Amino acid sequence: MSILSLKEISKRYKDETRRSERVLSHFNLEVERGEIVWLRGSSGSGKSTVLNIAGLLSTPDGGSRKIDGVDVTTPSQSLAAQTRRTKIGMVFQHSNLLPELTAVENIMVASVSVLTESEVIDRLAEFDLTSIARHKAKQLSGGQQQRVAFCRALVNEPLLLLADEPNSGLDDNNTNNVREALVAAAARGCAVLLASHSDAFEQIVSRTLDMERGRIG
């Protein structure tokens, strides 16, 4: 059974100034445990739209959507919240950490279960972040922030990890850390969906899907 299943998804954004434009049409995608699926396409091809729909941040206009076998096409607010919290981890282009909180506190805030500080530090150690565990997020480098964001996204052991341009603005060394984090997540059984216009992840992906004008080309 697929962890993520999108069938015949359509999406258009209502735009007051322009004609309403269809971003996705007849879009189909299945992602299974342990896979890293790369959604490849130029800017504007609809990659983020797919990830936002997969992450229940946006509702499709048509089609159906399942996560872990549960229909979440038009979920109630509470089912959506529970699904996001327990089954989905997301990493964006920018880390979106709470700047005034420490790395440890950012992880604690996101955790479904109550973790002790030493449990959180153990998790941060997996991302080589022990030395900055008590630093405020705003004091960390971009690469460190993105590693904390990965640690946060994985803290509840999600079934589905969504990563939208996760190496944007990072140097080669930090991009390598991002690659390792994606591989580790897949090895733990996550279904990983990666959106990227760069070829930095070519070596680690299981499948590549080319986006062309809102469809898999």
Interacting residues with Mg ion between 43 and 62 (CB under 5 A) = 47-48
Work out what residue 53 binds among Mg ion, ligand ADP, none; the CB cut-off runs from 5 to 8 Å by kind. Answer: none
Q: Of 157 and 199, which CB lies nearer to ligand ADP in the complex structure?
A: 199
Tell me the C-alpha distance between 95 and 163, whole Å.
Answer: 11
CB of 195 to ligand ADP, least distance (A): 6
Work out what residue 13 binds among ligand ADP, Mg ion, none; the CB cut-off runs from 5 to 8 Å by kind. Answer: ligand ADP
CB of 33 to ligand ADP, least distance (A): 25
Q: Of 43 and 173, which CB lies nearer to ligand ADP in the complex structure?
A: 43
Q: Of 12 and 33, which CB lies nearer to Mg ion in the complex structure?
A: 12
CB of 28 to ligand ADP, least distance (A): 16
Work out what residue 15 binds among Mg ion, ligand ADP, none; the CB cut-off runs from 5 to 8 Å by kind. Answer: ligand ADP
* Binding positions for Mg ion, rule: CB under 5 A: 47-48
